[in-house]
Amino acid sequence: LNLSVRFPVKRGGAFGRTSYLYAVDDVSFDIRRGETLAIVGESGSGKTTTALAVARLVAACDGEVKVAGQDFLKLDDQALRKARARLQFIFQDPYSSLNPRLRAEKIVREPLDSMETVPAADRQGIVDKLFKAVGLHPEQQRLFPHQFSGGQRQRIGIARALATQPELVICDEAVSALDVAVQAQILNLLKALQAEFDLTYLFISHDLGVVQHMCDTIAVMYMGRIVEYADRLSLFNSPKHPYTVALLSAVPSVDKERRAETRRILIPGDPPDPVNLPPGCRFANRCPVAQDICRQTDPALRSLPSGHRVACHLVSEDGTPPLTP
Ligand code: SF4
């Protein structure tokens, strides 16, 4: 809730001024148990920093992170160590996120050993169950990471993340490094595991196409802010913010008619300097429909009758967007 992360940046050499880069700027969202929230945006939007701040792997300068009623940001070091078992990551790169010197069995068992949340005698049974749940053969427990394919390595990463029965699983670009066919298998596996274990996912991706079958709610981020927040169907069927409209226009539709009707909207130019943000809308220099008010006044995130939340001056009160594909 109202999460902000800023990093000091020194410009102009040793005697230069210290400015602050707001990587995450007043971001709020909630995820219900058993559901998936996707945070989508291009690189530099703040989506990964948001996930790291939720887990306290980077320090938030403001806000709160409540997991099952407990504010993560207020825990002391000892309490945080215990609480971390309730929040696990699945990382982007299954090649570098697994220790190459450990057998698969040890990798999956490692969070159980380090967090000591279950008695030692019960841990091997949990590892066996997880191997089965992620579709790996019991004999593969003895193998090292280099003896697995990319998709299998990601299955090991998933098993490791689930070992401590976390309240929240953060999937940070969890399928981006995999080829398309393997991506689909891993996404299906994540969905099946969610149904089996009542998992809650925070799914970080730069690709709306990847999250379209995966999430219940979507937050679109741009330059550290949420610019649109809506349930999946509303966002895909009726995007409001020009940035979301442009991102969606690049997602191939399975519906033939819709595909023929949709024109691709390219987003020109580069984002503004994050240390020296413009006074108005952060998307204004790239937005095809920007007007004077956009360059002067920063649009607040507001709620629409449809339940959408959107930060754009030109979306009308009834939710009519200023740009359509
Ligand atoms: Fe574009 Fe203006 Fe809306 Fe920003 S506020 S997204 S510049 S129309």
Could you give the domains of the chain? Answer: 30-222 (3.40.50.300)
| Closest atom of ligand 1 to CA, residue 322 | 8
Residue 322 Cα to ligand 1 midpoint, Å, equals 9
Q: What's the CA gap between 47 and 40, in Å, rounded?
A: 7
Output the CA–CA distances (angstroms, integers) from residue 99 to 89, 106, 150, 177, 297, in the order listed.
15, 10, 14, 17, 49
43-63 pLDDT, tens digit each: 889 999 999 988 888 888 888
Q: Confidence band (pLDDT; 50, 70, 90) for 84? A: confident
- Is the ipTM, as predicted for this complex, more than 0.90? yes
| Closest atom of ligand 1 to CA, residue 284 | 7
Instruction: Determine contact, residues 242/321, Cβ cutoff 8 Å.
Output: yes
Q: Confidence band (pLDDT; 50, 70, 90) for 22? A: confident
| Closest atom of ligand 1 to CA, residue 293 | 2
Site to substitute for ligand 1 among 282, 291, 313, most atoms within 8 A of C-beta:
313
Quick one: 45 exposed, middle or buried, by C-beta within 10 A (0-12, 13-18, 19+)? buried
Tokens describing residue 167: 């309240």
Residue 22 Cα to ligand 1 midpoint, Å, equals 20
What is the predicted pLDDT for the residue at 258? 65
Q: Write down the mean pLDDT value for the chain.
A: 89
Strands (E), 66-166: 66-67, 70-71, 87-90
Give yes or no for residue 213 having a pLDDT over 90: no
276-303 pLDDT, tens digit each: 889 999 999 999 999 999 999 999 999 9
What is the predicted pLDDT for the residue at 74? 86
pTM of the model: 0.91
Give yes or no for residue 228 having a pLDDT over 90: yes
Q: What's the CA gap between 166 and 248, in Å, rounded?
A: 32
Mean pLDDT of 233-259: 85
Q: Which amino acid is at 243?
A: Y
Instruction: Determine contact, residues 9/20, Cβ cutoff 8 Å.
Output: yes
What is the predicted pLDDT for the residue at 34? 94
Mean pLDDT of 235-239: 93
Q: Give strand pairing partners of 27.
A: 3
Residue 312 Cα to ligand 1 midpoint, Å, equals 5
Q: Which amino acid is at 122?
A: D
